[in-house]
A and B are shown apart, each in its own frame.
Chain A
């Protein structure tokens, strides 16, 4: 008897009464005034990577702004890895929690998006209903409609751009390689001065995709699902290239950095002289942090590099969908986009089209260019992301060839 009561007590201690949430499901998400009305005083748990202090500071500023504008309580849940959030949503679905989820907004990458969309873990379509969606000028910028070639179909809202850029220490390197084939030549002359994160790390796989696109005889095949292409034939030049590249890499290609962060640390320690990032502002930010020497410069390969758009999604069972939409909409506002692009704050690239803004708003985007940032016209040289099915296929083949040797 005693046993039972103790256990029950413990159970009671651990159980919180559920708050009633039934009324929210009736909202008409196509009517913006209704959404804003519903959003008032909701709490939004925004699950976003928390590895960068600047990014965290930016989101803290966003929180203060949406509090002031819409009385929304925005909580940044700092993730080390987006998988933590995906795990959570998956577990909630497994447990039959369909309307009381713990996550309201996630910063996703294309692979996670494809996977969550396919498994019915997302709410929507909602993104095209946002008033600020018009500022994207999607007609002329179709890249905001595709996440790694997967049609977004209003299930995600863009907020920033990412672009693969290379950076080098200009005190050690006078003429950095301007293409993937030139990279091979350059590393053979400068052994141990370059490496890349090991796939399946996101940035490492990005490097494989960039190389595959540049080296393939039929790059168009990479924009179709991998099952529809002759994988061996399309990727043969890539493997030949890597086989020849690896002996010239840092540690002779016997060990690779785990992540983009580690790659930058190698650069900061002077182990390598050439590196790359998916954030055009990474070198500039690292210089400001004292992580990289001021002599570091960034550039884009002459044939263009991979570019994509960062998106936000709402899980199917989010509690505060309306407020999450309002936050996503605020992030697309000229005010937030300008702040994100400001080198003193985030230093990222705005996703909205400046052509859609009035002159006063456009004025917000006049920043002095930092010498470590790539030139604006260089950033026009973009390659679109291959179909997401190529990522696991490339990763698998890479591990098969280079792991356990």
Chain B
């Protein structure tokens, strides 16, 4: 049974994606029988490269894909180097999970309202300081170089990398490493950067790749914050897929393949940068410098993450205010009135979508967790190395969703699987699995194998040692993985809409449909609902171990 798990995972991920990819590959070269196109041709590629502004939009996607992880990762490292047990740090750590739970689109929407010329910040300082009676005509959101896009991405990826780092740190025995370096005269921040960071980075490599792929291919954040003339490649591809002229599907398919190539290129460049950094780092580590740069580390470490937290909190506040705002005209800092109207109008349509969302995310997460645990346990028992096969896990994150989902719909239709709840759960599983695997695998592999050896010497069977030793010891790790999985499931829009044929409304499909109407109050209400559910999951993941291990202090922090 256990041996089947990795095979199942591979089938689940590779199968649909290969089918989906094939359905992109064929139209990209002119083959789509449903549109009476059966001849292979390269014209759609020529068309693609003739698209106005393509080079710039490729450039922006690539730069966003590389700068986002560089900035987010540096800030997370600098922060961790200077973190202490102060109230601020405790707060930031507490905020990490809820911040992570806010869907990307909602966070971006909140940020847009925060920093726009007519946004919350501008309103707070107008007119008493700025003298603005009308919003200034400034290009902040959708700026040509994608700066606000990258700001939005960095702010959103910091909590993700921070959570991943916090999950990995306990394995590294940070205190002893730092204490050792301190005893050699290194300043505290430098001590952390020189002894912990090099050991921590390898554990964060996979999440960083996920960030690269996401940042270079995001659609929702790019639509809200990104440049528009031209938009990023992903946004253009989405536009072609939704073009009323069905002949644009060919262009879209070629564009989707180009997007795949772009994300892979970004990862490749990152690996080159890694090699360069490694050489430079060795120099720096061996230089014996004990003081130089300490101030910088403190400044950036304290400032960067605090600023990011403030921006995210501000975005959330923007959403919250808009969800209750009555008429609210610039330059008023506060709405004329606070009303419940927006919530009341949403209430009647909440029930069924809420139920569907909970069912889908629960089932998909439990299935994913079971598969991942089984695969990891199999690996553990047979001392397998799965490093090389890890790549297939990234496929669902690499291939633009709309592209391969269309193929998947064709596939499920030709098998005559009826659209509905089971199919939607299956589609969610494809996206939940990688994240659960990503979050859980390191902790699982790093758990000291001597625990199970000890159990075996006491006569426990491998199964018993799994249920009684490994699972409880990893409780907080797998609960976190489950919370992330559920959050991913809750945020899925296209898989739900396309494979459910729109018959399985969830919070997210309703939110996206209503968001197209552009009413900021309504969008804010649904964004809050959409964020509350995963927050609940994260809160459970945090509090269950505390409750279960209330008499076992070290168990709470073990992993």
Contact = CB atoms under 8 A, between A and B. Distances in A.
Interface of A: 2-3, 6-7, 10, 13-16, 18, 45, 47, 49-53, 56, 75, 77-88, 90-97, 100, 102-103, 109, 111-112, 114-116, 119, 191-192, 198, 200, 250-252, 254-256, 258-262, 264-265, 268-271, 289-291, 293, 392, 399-400, 402-405
Given A14-B422, A97-B413, A250 B142 contact: no
A21 B1 CA distance: 39
Given A50-B513, A96-B414, A255-B143, A87 B137 contact: no
Nearest to A405: B229
Contacts of A290: 326-327, 339, 341, 521
Contact of A83 (B1, B4, B57, B241): B241
A80 B516 contact: yes
B502 A45 contact: yes
B135 A84 contact: no
Contacts of A293: 327, 329
Nearest to B139: A251
B84 to A, nearest CB: 41
A79 B229 contact: no
B517 A52 contact: yes
Interface in B438-459: none
Of listed A3, A18, A103, A198, residue having the most chain B CB within 10 A: A3
A50 B526 CA distance: 14
Given A6-B4, A399-B52, A14 B134 contact: no
Nearest to B23: A94
A269 B413 contact: no
B166 interface: no
Interface stretch (B29-37, B181-189, B301-309, B529-537): B29-37
B126 to A, nearest CB: 11
Given A91-B409, A115-B245, A200-B243, 5 more contacts: A92-B409, A119-B34, A261-B517, A402-B229, A405-B229
Nearest to A15: B417
A198 B517 CA distance: 17
B53 A403 contact: yes
B171 to A, nearest CB: 33
A52 B329 CA distance: 21
Interface stretch (B386-394, B461-469, B479-487, B503-511): B503-511
A95 B513 contact: no
Contact of A78 (B36, B144, B513): B513
Given A18-B416, A290-B327, A51 B8 contact: no
A269 B330 contact: yes
A16 B420 CA distance: 9
Interface of B: 1, 3-4, 7-8, 11, 32-36, 51-57, 116-118, 134-135, 137-139, 141-144, 223, 227-230, 239, 241-246, 249, 326-327, 329-330, 339, 341, 345, 349, 406, 409-420, 422-423, 426, 497-498, 501-503, 505, 509-510, 512-522
Given A53-B522, A399-B53, A405-B229, A94 B32 contact: yes
Nearest to A16: B418
Contact of A271 (B53, B118, B501, B503): B118
Contacts of B522: 53
- 7 closest A-B pairs by beta carbon, nearest first, are A261-B518, A404-B53, A51-B517, A83-B242, A77-B502, A95-B413, A102-B501
Nearest to B408: A91
28 contacts: A16-B417, A53-B522, A77-B505, A78-B509, A79-B497, A79-B502, A80-B516, A87-B409, A90-B246, A94-B32, A94-B413, A95-B409, A96-B413, A111-B245, A119-B35, A255-B141, A256-B228, A259-B518, A261-B516, A261-B517, A271-B117, A271-B134, A290-B326, A293-B327, A392-B245, A399-B230, A400-B52, A404-B56
Contact of A103 (B229, B244, B501, B512): B501
A88 B244 CA distance: 13
Given A200-B239, A290-B327, A109 B519 contact: no
B1 A255 contact: no
Contacts of A392: 245
A79 B509 CA distance: 8
B30 to A, nearest CB: 15
A68 to B, nearest CB: 19
Contacts of A289: 519, 521
Nearest to B133: A270
B518 A80 contact: no
A49 B230 contact: no
A404 B516 CA distance: 26
A288 to B, nearest CB: 11
Contact of A403 (B52, B137, B415): B52
Listed residue (A93, A103, A270) with the most chain B CB atoms within 10 angstroms of its CB:
A270
Given A88-B501, A96-B414, A51 B516 contact: yes
A344 to B, nearest CB: 15
B167 to A, nearest CB: 30
B228 A255 contact: yes
A96 B413 CA distance: 8
Contacts of A97: 413-414, 416
A95 B53 contact: no
Contacts of A200: 239, 243
A404 B242 CA distance: 21
A392 B345 CA distance: 38
Contacts of B243: 83, 200
Contacts of B497: 79, 84
Contacts of B412: 95
Nearest to B33: A94
Contacts of A268: 520
Contacts of A96: 413-414
Contact of B244 (A102, A111, A250, A270): A111
A151 B134 CA distance: 47
B503 to A, nearest CB: 7
Contacts of A109: 244
